[in-house]
Amino acid sequence: MSITKTAVVTGSTSGIGLAIAQALAAAGHAIVVNSFSDTPADHAVADAIAREHKVKAAYIKADMSNPAECRMLIAKAAEIFGSVDILVNNAGIQHVAPVEDFPLEKWDAIIAVNLSSAFHTIAAAIPLMKQAGGGRIVNIASAHGLVASPFKSAYVSAKHGIMGLTKTVALELARDKITCNAICPGYVLTPLVEAQIPDQMKANKMDREAVIREVMLEKQPTKEFVTVEQVAAAAVFLCSDAAAQVNGTHISIDGGWTAA
């Protein structure tokens, strides 16, 4: 895996996915940037990555809640770059509500984007990786792939599910030089999480620091956010030659949350 490879990162126009796309580009890989919005800003992300890291990069629009579009993303990436060697399943959404009130459409969307999309992209990528003689699959799970929190039934179910998918795929492909692993971040201060802080300040009558300390980082023993760069560095490691025997497992990056 040391020479230039093609990496598809789902949901890579912001947050963790963007940092992973940038870090894999810095490692010399060609990058497929994905989101479902297809705006000029989305295309600009791929252009900036290509310019900054002197690699090939393309933006492909595909809605990860749609099985056919998940599979099309992989087919189109292979059409453009000739192979898909690295697949990072990162796209994810969240909704918070008690189980008995959880909206059905939110449950279906979270299971589709956070779990089923990975099944579809993996299924489509496997023949290409086998043909190329190897590959790397990295699934961005969560501390919620290992432990639960109240009011996040769909998210916790999807993230636990992706841990099972990760292990199953790893076993099935162990003889094909294809590894499949998960990364389980704790709280990462992405634009999405940042946007929740003002609402939490209002709802809890707290200042910004109190919201971060007592609401968001309550479960994270270091009381610090994980950074997108720390998650990206783990992804780059899992895609490296050094990780050839790391298979069917996960790397927790949660400040000690799941040690408790």
Contacts with ligand NAD, residue ranges (CB under 6 A) = 11-17, 34-36, 63-65, 90-93, 113-114, 140, 142, 185, 187-188, 190-193
Q: Which is nearer to ligand NAD, 11 or 174 (CB)?
A: 11
Minimum distance from residue 51 beta carbon to ligand NAD (Å): 20
Q: What is the DSSP string of 92-138?
A: -------GGG--HHHHHHHHIIIIIHHHHHHHHHHHHHHHHT-EEEE
End-to-end CA distance of the chain: 36
Distance in angstroms (rounded) separating the CA atoms of residues 249 and 47: 33
Question: What ranges make up the beta strands (E) of the chain?
Answer: 6-9, 30-35, 57-61, 86-89, 135-140, 178-185, 250-253
Q: Which is nearer to ligand NAD, 114 or 153 (CB)?
A: 114
Minimum distance from residue 31 beta carbon to ligand NAD (Å): 14
Contacts of 72 (CB under 8 A, 6+ apart): 62
Q: Which is nearer to ligand NAD, 107 or 187 (CB)?
A: 187
Minimum distance from residue 209 beta carbon to ligand NAD (Å): 18
Distance in angstroms (rounded) separating the CA atoms of residues 239 and 39: 29
CB 219 within 8 A of CB 7: no
Q: Which is nearer to ligand NAD, 2 or 40 (CB)?
A: 40
Contacts of 178 (CB under 8 A, 6+ apart): 126, 129, 130, 134, 135, 136, 137
Q: Which is nearer to ligand NAD, 34 or 247 (CB)?
A: 34
CA angle, corner 142, sides to 15 and 31, nearest 5?
40
Instruction: Please choose, from the candidates 49, 241, 62, the residue with its C-alpha nearest in 3D space to the C-alpha of residue 136.
Output: 241
Contacts of 196 (CB under 8 A, 6+ apart): none
Distance in angstroms (rounded) separating the CA atoms of residues 88 and 95: 22
Minimum distance from residue 99 beta carbon to ligand NAD (Å): 19
Q: Which is nearer to ligand NAD, 65 or 166 (CB)?
A: 65
Total count of residues recorded for the chain: 260
Minimum distance from residue 131 beta carbon to ligand NAD (Å): 26
* Catalytic positions: 155
Minimum distance from residue 64 beta carbon to ligand NAD (Å): 3
